[in-house]
Amino acid sequence: MPDTAPSFAVISGAQVHRALDGNHKQVVELVEAAYRLHGDGDSVNPPSYFLRFPDRPSSRIIALPASIGGEIGVDGIKWISSFPENVAAGIPRASAVLILNDHDTGYPFACLESSIISATRTAASAALAADWLTRDRGRPGRVGFIGTGLIARYIHEYLAGTGWSFDEIGVHDLSAEHAAGFSGALERSGSTARITVHDTAESLIRSSDVVVFATVAGEPYVHDADWFSHNPLVLHVSLRDLAPEVLLGAVNLVDDVDHCLKANTSPHLVEQRVGNREFLLGTLADVMTGRVEVPADRPVIFSPFGLGVLDLAVGKFVYDQVRRGGELAVVEDFFHELRRYG
């Protein structure tokens, strides 16, 4: 137990960005370690809680409580909102904070701006999956992005930052303006790939070896399994783009079975249709530990629900970086009643 009064710090988005900038490989390794700890049972990751609004059906706020052991050793909760109509107003769809709690006392010791942390752990997870799930296939030369928001940008950044390069990058979005904006961002990133904006999802999928879904779709709109007959790797980050018939013709992997098969995700819709979970090969941790082998004769679809333990791992990394840099902004007297009898 500590012999000093607990302290509480606030870490801004600018500080988060500086702590993570350029550390792509280190963050991906951290996410891999968190997946392994979770796969070994050294974590607590309860179901996420969805706060929905009858007057705003497209919006939601999600609470992700979690605890992770190992060298990370921290508890906490992410509170993240998704308001898609923000985009039309010129501000990002998602906003979030992350609270970190001390392992020994339970006291919260930091509040971090977490939209960047959330995007980072999502992108690092996608890059990690792309690495492990193409090891027996060879590095693909063509990647396609369906949905061109912040998450797509971060996924491309983490692929590039961990050594991936592509000959072709495909882009598709329902908004021509957003597709053009993302294409411009790709060009400014220094990518030498040929960038093609596709008018349809089918065109992009058929011409990509890796397909990234990063949309805000609430229900499936891709129904034809034949679009995937060339056996691409599909990073199904947005979880609700693919109809059951597409998944039933593919090899399916998730980050956590119980978490992913709920809330009408595409895998959950498959379970509801067939009445079992036999369509799942396993989890990414199963692949990393050799418990399962990924066949190469079908499309491979990775559908990550997004685990709170990943947010904790990245958030603790940020906190440690800021503290070591001497930039920790501590809120004095945040905890006031610290003496039991006054």
Q: Summarize pLDDT for 269-326 with one digit per residue, the tens.
A: 999 999 999 999 999 999 999 999 999 899 999 999 999 999 999 999 999 999 999 9
Q: Which residues pair with 278 in a beta bridge?
A: none
Residue 3 is predicted with a pLDDT of 54
b/e burial code for range 73-83 (CB count within 10 A of at least 16 → b): ebbbbbbbbbb
Range list of β-strands (E), the chain: 9-11, 43-44, 49-53, 56-68, 74-82, 94-101, 108-113, 142-146, 168-172, 194-197, 210-213, 233-236, 251-254, 280-283, 300-303, 329-330
With CA atoms as reference, report the closest residue to 331 among 107, 98, 11: 11
Residue 149 is predicted with a pLDDT of 92
pTM above 0.85, yes or no: yes
pLDDT tens-place values along the chain, 342 residues long: 455 778 999 999 999 999 999 999 999 999 999 999 999 999 999 999 999 999 999 999 999 999 999 999 999 999 999 999 998 898 998 999 999 999 999 999 999 999 999 999 999 999 999 999 999 887 899 999 999 999 999 999 999 999 999 999 999 999 999 999 999 999 999 889 999 999 999 999 999 999 999 999 999 999 999 999 999 999 999 999 999 999 999 999 999 999 999 989 999 999 999 999 999 999 999 999 999 999 989 999 999 999 999 999 999 999 999 999 999 999 999 998 888 887
Mean pLDDT across the chain, nearest whole number?
95
Q: Tokens at residue 230, please?
A: 């060339």
**What is the location of CATH 3.40.50.720 in the chain?**
136-303
CB atoms within 10 A of CB 179: 19
Residue 1 is predicted with a pLDDT of 45
- Yes or no: domain 136-303 corresponds to CATH 3.10.20.30: no
What is the C-alpha R_g of the chain?
Answer: 20
d(CA 232, CA 246): 12
- Yes or no: domain 9-117+308-330 corresponds to CATH 3.30.1360.70: no
CB atoms within 10 A of CB 23: 18
Q: Return the H-helix or E-strand segment holding 116.
A: helix 115-133
